[in-house]
Amino acid sequence: MPEFTIVLGNKAYSSWSLRGWLPLKLSGASFDEIVIPLRESDTKARLLEASSAGKVPVLKTADGPIWDSLAIAEYLAERFPDAGLWPEDPRARALARSVTSEMHSSFPALRNDCPMDVRSRYRDREFSESTRQDIERITSIWRDCRARFGAGGEFLFGGFCIADAFYAPVVSRFVTYDVALDSVCSAYRDAVMARPEMQEWIDAGHAEPWTMEFDV
Ligand SMILES: N[C@@H](CCC(=O)N[C@@H](CS)C(=O)NCC(=O)O)C(=O)O
């Protein structure tokens, strides 16, 4: 029997769910998945059954349910210390935690203006000033991490870690909304999109029967 069950929203749309699911994939643990389609008549009741917070993702563990993507990532990093979920170097790890927390708590304009939607593509979008500022901040984070700690691989801290998992939904949005990027950031975007876990998630998103309408 798998060790964990992760409760997720639609893979096509649920960016927080992707942030919880990627560290679980990287941990190598066995798990089952339950997908609760968002914005359906029974969604709230089903979310509240999974955890008292009423949101996804939720990781069901022998220690009880863990909700919130960052708590899930930290739990898994502690439980699977050899999985490389955080960088080994303490300075790199400190920066990785900072940029992960910044992603977890910031960028409301980008989130509102550009919802994650792995199945759609938009061209020639006009971004608001605040969305442009979010994009500028995110790309400066990516350039900084790549320059200081990225030498060992293609990702923010070399190998694919929790920080990349947290920016993966942003990478997906940059593809969906055709955000122009410099050579460092576009190479990073392409490396994230090429990860087999990302492809698995996106393929599953395409296969889902539910559709949500956005005002974009
Ligand atoms: N800060 C939370 C955010 C979780 C969240 O907002 N999840 C959304 C889906 S992407 C949700 O459950 N929405 C359903 C609702 O609010 O009814 C985390 O990091 O997990």
Q: How many angstroms separate the alpha carbon of residue 153 from the centre of ligand 1?
A: 31
Ranges of each domain in the chain: 4-83, 90-200
% the chain with pLDDT above 70: 99
The single-letter DSSP state of residue 177 is: T
Atom of ligand 1 nearest to the CA of 38: 14
- Looking at 150-195, list the stretches that DSSP marks H as alpha helix, in order from N- to C-terminal side: 162-176, 183-194
Q: Which tops the pLDDT comparison, 29 or 213?
A: 29
Output the DSSP codes for 45-104. HHHHHH-TT--S-EEEETTEEEESHHHHHHHHHHH-GGG-SS-SSHHHHHHHHHHHHHHH
pLDDT in tens, 101-115: 999 999 999 999 999
- For residues 43-57, average pLDDT: 97
> Thinking of the domain 4-83, which architecture would CATH place it in?
3-Layer(aba) Sandwich (3.40)
Residue carrying the six token digits 């070399």: 158
- For residues 191-196, average pLDDT: 98
pLDDT in tens, 78-105: 999 999 999 999 999 999 999 999 999 9
Res. 215: pLDDT tops 80:
no
So what's the pLDDT on residue 209? 96
* Mean pLDDT of the chain, nearest integer: 97
- For residues 61-73, average pLDDT: 97
* Same fold for the pair 4-83 and 90-200: no
So what's the pLDDT on residue 206? 98
Residue nearest to atom 16 of ligand 1 (CA): 55
So what's the pLDDT on residue 216? 56
**Residues in CB range of 199: below 8 A, 6 or more apart:** 193
Residue nearest to atom 14 of ligand 1 (CA): 55
pLDDT in tens, 8-27: 999 999 999 999 999 999 99
Fold of 90-200: Glutathione S-transferase Yfyf (Class Pi); Chain A, domain 2 (1.20.1050)
Q: How many angstroms separate the alpha carbon of residue 117 from the centre of ligand 1?
A: 15
So what's the pLDDT on residue 213? 81
So what's the pLDDT on residue 96? 99
